[in-house]
Amino acid sequence: MKNLFSLKGKVALVTGASRGLGFAMAEALADYGAHVVMNGRHKKTLDPKVKALADKKHAVWGAAFDVADTDACAKAVADIVKQHGHLDVLVNNAGTAEYAPVTDYPLDMWERLIGIHLTGAFVLAREAGRHMAARGKGTIINIGSIAGPKIAVPMMPAYATAKAGLEGLTRALAVELGPKGVTANCIAPGYFHTELGGSLKEGEPPPDAAKAFYRMVEEHTPLKRWAKPEEIKGLTVFLASDAASYMNGSVIYIDGGMSVLQ
Ligand SMILES: NC(=O)c1ccc[n+]([C@@H]2O[C@H](COP(=O)([O-])OP(=O)(O)OC[C@H]3O[C@@H](n4cnc5c(N)ncnc54)[C@H](OP(=O)(O)O)[C@@H]3O)[C@@H](O)[C@H]2O)c1
């Protein structure tokens, strides 16, 4: 029987794959047979992570660029198509968080966050989408968040706006590219232990200053714990695979139930 989840023959680009959720997703896609191009801003931190997967006999390449650089995004898609022949899966994951009170939120911080999370994702989706539409197949996975579309976290107005925007972008891509055989979906994570989410190793206690925050997340999550980065792998492989051939325009919350807790 055909393995519905096999990614053999597919080429994927995962942005922000030098650590955290992006690294976990790149590893999962490679585990299932995809050729994976891993992105991050810094070659110095990206290269060792690419090597770590290459050492496991995975087919992986590094492409260091800043997703806020729109020319670099367009070039990256063109380079992948030139080098690998095609691009089948785009995972728009790169992201950062910066905090300031909304009434003092600096405009440059706002523009930086929107540039990385939203404009970068749009340009990569536009470039990849054009290529995929011409081939009549491909899929785009945007990494949203529970924060923005479902809940709001104080001092993160740009992040919340960008993540809500990514859901809109996902729907826009789904309706326009769907007729051309290209799908777009959004994975919206809750709280995962990563540098951005709040990094703690399993069993490690939170620092005193952050104890209340860690407890708050646990209390507001029906599963009563934070997620581990590898818990995003299954959903990513599913959405990238032929098993998800009829998934289009969906936003899937992977948050231990946080978004449905009253
Ligand atoms: N962790 C959570 O709880 C959580 C919850 C909801 C949503 N998310 C979303 O999930 C995504 C991944 O987050 P994470 O928790 O894995 O964060 P992370 O551990 O901080 O990793 C972020 C990744 O993005 C890269 N990156 C940052 N800015 C970039 C840019 N301008 N261009 C290219 N790469 C860039 C980083 O590498 P360099 O710094 O080397 O460039 C790194 O590889 C983000 O979009 C985040 O908003 C996370």
pLDDT, averaged across the chain:
96
**Residues in the ligand 1 pocket, defined by CB under 6 Å:** 15-22, 39-42, 45, 66-68, 93-96, 116, 143, 145, 189, 191-192, 194-197
Q: What percent of the chain shows pLDDT beyond 70?
A: 99
Distance from residue 14's CA to the centre of ligand 1 (Å): 11
Atom of ligand 1 nearest to the CA of 195: 19
Any idea where the domains of the chain sit in the sequence? Answer: 11-254
Per residue in 109-168, pLDDT (tens digit) is 999 999 999 999 999 999 999 999 999 999 999 999 999 998 999 999 999 999 999 999
Under 8 Å between Cβ of 255 and 221: yes
Confidence grade of residue 234 (pLDDT, cut at 50, 70, 90): very high
Residue 108 CA to residue 19 CA, distance in Å, equals: 25
Residue 220 CA to residue 212 CA, distance in Å, equals: 12
Question: Into which CATH architecture does domain 11-254 fall?
Answer: 3-Layer(aba) Sandwich (3.40)
pLDDT higher than threshold 80 for residue 10: yes
pLDDT higher than threshold 80 for residue 200: no
For position 113, what pLDDT does the model report? 98
Distance from residue 8's CA to the centre of ligand 1 (Å): 26
For position 197, what pLDDT does the model report? 84
Phi, psi of 40 (to 5 degrees): -170, 170
> Mean pLDDT throughout 220-239?
97
Atom of ligand 1 nearest to the CA of 41: 41
pLDDT higher than threshold 70 for residue 9: yes
Candidate of 13, 14, 15, 19 to mutate for ligand 1, largest count of ligand atoms within 8 Å of Cβ: 19
Atom of ligand 1 nearest to the CA of 159: 47
* H helices present in 67-143, as ranges: 70-84, 107-114, 120-135
Candidate of 47, 50, 96 to mutate for ligand 1, largest count of ligand atoms within 8 Å of Cβ: 96
DSSP 215: H
Closest residue CA from atom 4 of ligand 1:
197
Candidate of 39, 41, 42, 49 to mutate for ligand 1, largest count of ligand atoms within 8 Å of Cβ: 41
Overall residue count recorded for the chain in this entry: 262
Burial of 212 (C-beta count, 10 Å sphere; 0-12/13-18/19+): exposed
Distance from residue 93's CA to the centre of ligand 1 (Å): 6
Per residue in 66-113, pLDDT (tens digit) is 999 999 999 999 999 999 999 999 999 999 999 999 999 999 999 999
Residue 231 CA to residue 214 CA, distance in Å, equals: 18
Phi, psi of 222 (to 5 degrees): -55, -30
Confidence grade of residue 1 (pLDDT, cut at 50, 70, 90): low
Lookup: tokens for 26: 């790149």
> Mean pLDDT throughout 242-251?
98
pLDDT higher than threshold 80 for residue 232: yes
pLDDT higher than threshold 80 for residue 6: yes
Residues with catalytic annotation?
Answer: 159
Confidence grade of residue 48 (pLDDT, cut at 50, 70, 90): very high
Distance from residue 191's CA to the centre of ligand 1 (Å): 13
pLDDT higher than threshold 90 for residue 34: yes
> Mean pLDDT throughout 195-211?
81
Distance from residue 23's CA to the centre of ligand 1 (Å): 10
**Sign of the torsion formed by the C-alpha atoms of 78, 5, 181 and 176:** negative
Atom of ligand 1 nearest to the CA of 24: 16
For position 184, what pLDDT does the model report? 99
Q: What's this model's pTM, rounded to 2 decimal places?
A: 0.97
Name every residue whose Cβ is closer than 8 Å to that of residue 142 and which is 6 or more positions away in sequence: 92, 121, 125, 166, 167, 169, 170, 184, 185, 186, 187
